[in-house]
Structure 1
Amino acid sequence: MKITILTVGKLKESYWKQAIAEYSKRLGLYTKLELVEVEDEKTLDQASDLLCEQIKDKEGDRLLARCPKDGYVIALAIDGKQYDSVALSKHLEKLTVTGRSHLVFVIGGSLGLSKKVLARADEKLSFSALTFPHQMMRVILLEQIYRCFRIQKNEPYHK
């Protein structure tokens, strides 16, 4: 199985980079992991709705250009389906058993994902009705994927 995490923007803070590196190392025991970042757009604080949509479209085009054609795309979106860790583990396992050997998780920028990216997605996943910074979401996603593998292998994990 291969997992690609496709994100908008580069991480700047060393603590996020360290957390990503740690979970990437841990996940290396279970899967081939690829982390792909695309450039983000500058967003003005008082940007109009139209400008925000244009920014999401530009970022979305970059995401789609890097999105593997063979991937099963899971967009992280606040209105996506929510799972607990065990249910998510079973869901991801079912996907791989049914022939989806390349999972692509997509995390948008500070404004979210464009309509084109959401339309391309095979499903939408939500971790909460709360909004998280997209940098933090990378770490949360990697930790949950790692937890899913631990659950699938009946290995201990923190509850």
Structure 2
Amino acid sequence: MNVKILCVGKIKEKFYKDAISEYSKRLSKYCSLDIVEVPDEKTSENASDNEINIVKDKEGERILKHLKDRDYVVSLAIEGAQKDSVSFSKHIENLGISGKSSIVFIIGGSLGLSNEVLKRSDELLSFSKMTFPHQLMRVVLLEQIYRAMRIMNNEPYHK
């Protein structure tokens, strides 16, 4: 299975980089992992709704350039469906069984995702109704993908 994490912005903090590196190393046993970062747009503190949409559209164009027609796209969005770890694992397993071997998870920037990215998505996934920094979300997503792979392979993992 090929898994791509497509995200807006760079990771600056060492502790996030270390966690991402660790989970990437662990996942290499289970799948081909690719993490692609697209540049984020600078946004003024008091941006208007129009300016916010312009920023999301620019970031969205950068994201869409990295998607292929065959990719199964899961965008992280607060309005998405929530799953527990076991159902998330079963869902990924079922995607693979049904021939969707290229899964792309999209993490937007601080303003969220453009309408075009949301339209291209095959599904929306939410980890919580709370908002998280996109740097932390990358770590959480990688941990959950790793957990899903362990569950799929009937391997022990802490609960």
Which residue matches 1:153?
153
Is residue 108 of structure 2 the alignment partner of residue 108 of structure 1? yes
| Alpha-carbon distance, 1:68 to partner | 2.7
What is the aligned length?
Answer: 159
Which amino acid counterpart does residue 31 of structure 1 have in structure 2? Answer: C
Which amino acid counterpart does residue 139 of structure 1 have in structure 2? Answer: V
CA contact (8 A) 1:150 1:157 kept: yes
CA distance in 2, matches of 1:4, 1:20: 13
Divergent runs of 4+, >2 A: none
What do residues 30-56 of structure 1 show as CA deviations (whole Å, max 9, x unaligned)?
000000000100011110111000000
Which residue matches 1:141?
141
CA distance in 2, matches of 1:157, 1:46: 44
Range 61-70 or range 6-15, more displaced:
61-70
Give me the CA root mean square deviation: 0.6
Which amino acid counterpart does residue 150 of structure 1 have in structure 2? Answer: R
What do residues 86-118 of structure 1 show as CA deviations (whole Å, max 9, x unaligned)?
010001100110010000000000000000000
Which residue matches 1:57?
57
Which residue matches 1:44?
44
* Matching of residues 9-158 of structure 1 within 5 Å: 9-158=9-158
Which amino acid counterpart does residue 80 of structure 1 have in structure 2? Answer: G
| Alpha-carbon distance, 1:69 to partner | 2.7
CA contact (8 A) 1:6 1:67 kept: no
- Identity over aligned pairs, percent: 60
CA distance in 2, matches of 1:146, 1:50: 38
Which residue matches 1:7?
7
Secondary structure in structure 2 of the residue aligned to 1:46:
coil
CA distance in 2, matches of 1:109, 1:67: 17
Secondary structure in structure 2 of the residue aligned to 1:146:
helix
Gap regions ≥5 residues in structure 2: none
Which amino acid counterpart does residue 9 of structure 1 have in structure 2? Answer: G
Gap regions ≥5 residues in structure 1: none
TM, length-normalised to structure 1: 0.99
Which amino acid counterpart does residue 8 of structure 2 have in structure 1? Answer: V
